[in-house]
Structure 1
Amino acid sequence: MDWQQIFASRMMRMKASEIRELLKLLDQPDIISFAGGIPDPALFPTAAYRTAMAEALSDATAPTALQYSVSEGYRPLRDWIVQEMARSGVTCTADNILITSGSQQALDYLGKLLLSPGDTALVNWPSYMGALGAFNAYEPRYDRLNGNAGPAEFAAAAAAAGGRVKFAYLSADFGNPTGETLDLAGRQALIDLADDLDIAIIEDNAYQRLRYDGEPVPSILALEIARKGSIENCRTVYCGSFSKSLAPGLRIGWVCAAQDAINRLVLLKQAADLHSATLNQVVTAHVAQSVFEDHVAGLRQTYGRRRDLMLAALDREMPDGVTWTRPQGGMFVWLTLPAQMDGATLLAQALADEKVAFVPGRAFFADGSNGNTIRLSFTLHEAAPMDEGIARLGRAIRNYRAA
């Protein structure tokens, strides 16, 4: 059968994730990889999960942990998230929380909820490729959020394309891929823009707890609540995740938003998978309640040191004409190469000649532009492999330029 003839038109916009493909390189012992934006498995709170799993499967708890659950999510976990949101200035209740199978599922649901074909999504340039992949299925067009356009220009461009602007999406803290943080004035301006356009804000905050230096900036949702008095008056949808702070394999994320938005997302959840895995939610609640603060403090210490190692190595090894970000947190450093270079071509040569891996930057741009960029992750390596890997990358760049 020729399957191509019956695929929906949306499949033409869906592409394989370059990062998922590059993760296969982690199994090759001679490759030093800065590609996958993944936590160090040596830092997982394994003992706490082992204890939590035993507790979840005890005679008293197993009937709950192994049973169907409500679509909104396991109530003790949602209650813990309410407390976690309160730490950052977001006053809400469990009715404002939906548990999802990772924050990636939340992005898919939000695309389905908000986008009709031809509508406009405002995104950073570059933006998280997983978000672009999630939204692509719903056939939007993209406009550049961090450009110079104002509400009138955005609205006119969207109308000319046969749709309207529906939301602005961004990672405000140490965003993937650049590691950069939107300052307080930028967050306030974004709320103004969203009010003027009457659109939603999707705040993807997977890295918020991984700050290594600098002063914390309130989340966009917290700032909007401070303006408008209640989460029920807010247009910001906050997406959180345990993947970077605890462990990604259980696939537990959440959405925090006004109840009207949550209620609609629950309908999508019921149609998709009924609810996220109950056992995983029970275990995550136990681990979060028992070790979260101490564990995240340890992550900040370790990842902060590794960020410093990468930045120092880049200072030593990068040739003239290469620039990079200096993130205050998160997992990534973003390199801009000389204009004539292409990150994908560099990757092929770097793998063949130097056995070093990274993510080419083009996939992070909605229009496939800016090929002279690459993303590095610093979470997996200590001093020796970090120094060697960046030295290899420097040689690869010099060889590319010489050729």
Structure 2
Amino acid sequence: MDLTEMFAERTARMKASEIRELLKLLDQPGIISFAGGIPDPALFPSDAFAKAFAQTMEGDQAGSALQYSVSEGYLPLREWLVGEMAKVGVPCSVDNILITSGSQQALDYLGKLFLSPGDTALVNWPTYMGALGAFNPYEPRYDQLSINGNRSAEDFKDSAKAETGGRVKFAYLSSDFSNPTGETVDRRGRESLLDLVDDLDCAVIEDAAYQALRYDGADIPPILAFEIARKGDIEACRTIYCGSFSKTLSPGLRVGWIVAAKPVISQLVLMKQASDLHSPTLNQIAINAVARACFEDHVSDVRKAYRGRRDAMLAALERYMPKGVEWTRPEGGMFVWLTLPVGVDGADLLALALETQKVAFVPGHAFFADGSGRNTIRLSFSCADEATIEEGMRRLGLALQAAIG
């Protein structure tokens, strides 16, 4: 008997995450890793969470924390999020918010909600590989998102219909300090995107996982805020905002959220009920308590730490990278994106760098829906101190010199 012969055809589109595999390298002695885009555990508000969990398990609240709960999410947490969303220009109510098990679950639900086989998802080249992993089982066609006017809505529609017979269902992007490039969509780009999706009559999925981690420059309101300013009310908007506490408070508790018009939230609630009923109540209560107690102060400390590491990486790249290597200069987030000289393959470079220099990173091709971008790599600076970054960039420079010849 071979049950694999009975797997649904969609499972063929499920692939192991290269980042998940690379994280295993963190346990190998001597490896300097810039691979995982993960927060530094030394910066977690551990004491605040210890207090929050202890208080939650005292008295009558313990029963509620350990019991089944509503699918929409813990009401006090959604109420706190209403206030936070208002601060960034997104007035909404608790009925516009669904708590998810991390923003990754949000992406999976949205792929399920919108994509029929052959429909088109517009994504950046490169884009977050976790989004591709979430959308792939729903059998979409991918097209390269362009918001600079190079392609018209009619061109996108015609391509979608001609190639697979489907239609464009959404544009997905990380608007602030994106994973993997660290780049941010400016105000003009956000307005242009809204023009495009209005012409396409499709949704926007705004991945805001890194929005709170700005180190330089002025804050830019979310795309959803721009659309509300245009249309007057969130109920008239096509943008769906995905937020997360993973990069600010704790990734292990798996608490994220979706903000959207009520009909979208209502349908997503049905998916939540069918999937896992609700995100863990105990985790939501703890996140709510810690967020209310120290969110702004804690995130300020995180920004200060990551800003120093970003600056150290950019300075070290200037010192050690060979001629012909280019890189982004992010205003926030966790990543720097390198474009290597033509002919240098990121995957081959990783093998060489691990063998000869014991330094790790993520080859860039995994972030491209079409598998291109072989001469790119992603570096994360979030989990290394300045001295480790300096030594790691020196080692990477030596590996690159050897690869270039």
Give your verdict on TM over 0.5.
Answer: yes
Q: Give distance in 2, aligned partners of 1:269 and 1:342.
A: 41
Give, in whole Å, the separation in 1 of the partners of 2:402 and 2:160. Answer: 44
Give CA deviations for 1:179-235 in whole Å, capped at 9, x if unaligned. 000010000000011110100000000000000001111110000000000000000
- Give, as a single letter, the amino acid of the residue that structure 2 aligns with 1:149: R
Q: Distance in 2 between matches of 1:126 and 1:289?
A: 36
Instruction: Tell me how many residue pairs correspond in the alignment.
Output: 402
Give 1:381 shift.
1.4
Matched residue, 1:41: 41
1:289 and 1:72 mapped to 2: Cα distance? 20
1:353 pairs with 2:332 = no
Residue 320 of structure 1, CA deviation: 0.3
For residue 151 of structure 1, what is the aligned residue in structure 2?
153
Residue 239 (structure 2) pairs with residue 236 (structure 1): yes
Between the aligned partners of 1:209 and 1:115, the Cα distance in structure 2 is 29
Alignment of 1:268 onto 2:262: no
Distance 1:82 1:348 in 2: 47
Question: Is the partner of 2:81 in helix, strand or coil?
Answer: helix
TM-score by length of 2: 0.98
1:162-177 to structure 2, matched below 5 A, reads: 162-177=165-180
SS in 1 for 2:138: coil
Give the equivalent residue in structure 1 for 2:50.
50
| Root-mean-square deviation over aligned CA pairs | 0.7
Name the counterpart of 2:134: 134
Corresponding letter in the other structure for 1:125:
W
Contact residue 308 and residue 386 of structure 2 kept, 8 A? no
Quote the residue 2:22 is aligned against. Answer: 22
Task: Return the alpha-carbon distance in structure 2 between the equivalents of residues 157 and 146 of structure 1.
Answer: 14
How many Å separate the matches in 2 of 1:330 and 1:194?
A: 26
Residue identity opposite 1:381 in structure 2: A
2:280 aligned with 1:255 = no
Partner of 1:107: 107
Q: Of residues 190, 195, 199 in structure 2, which corresponds to 1:192?
A: 195
The superposition leaves residues 228-263 of structure 1 with CA deviations (integer Å, 9 ceiling, x where unpaired) of 000000000000000001010000000000000000
From 371, 375, 386, the equivalent of 1:383 is 386
Alignment of 1:56-135 (within 5 A): 56-135=56-135
Contact 1:204–1:238 (CA<8 Å) still a contact in 2?
yes
Checking the alignment, whether the CA contact within 8 Å between 1:125 and 1:146 is kept in structure 2 is: no
Q: Deviations over 1:5-55 (max 9, x none)?
A: 111111111110000001111112300000000000000000000000001
CA distance in structure 1 between the partners assigned to 2:161 and 2:210 by the alignment: 34
Deviation at 1:56, TM superposition (A): 0.9
After TM superposition, where is structure 1 displaced by more than 6 Å over at least 4 residues in a row? none
- Are the aligned partners of 1:240 and 1:254 in contact in 2 as well (CA < 8 Å)? yes
Cα offset for 1:146? 2.9
SS at match of 2:36: coil
Shift of 1:3: 2.9
Counterpart Cα distance in 1 of 2:285 and 2:183: 34
User: Among the aligned pairs, what percent are the same residue?
Assistant: 67
Give the letter aligned to residue 171 of structure 1: S
Alignment-mate amino acid for residue 156 of structure 1 = D
Shift of 1:350: 0.5
Q: C-alpha offsets along residues 119-160 of structure 1, whole Å, 9 cap, x if unaligned?
A: 000000100000000000100000000373210000001111
Counterpart secondary structure, 1:137: helix
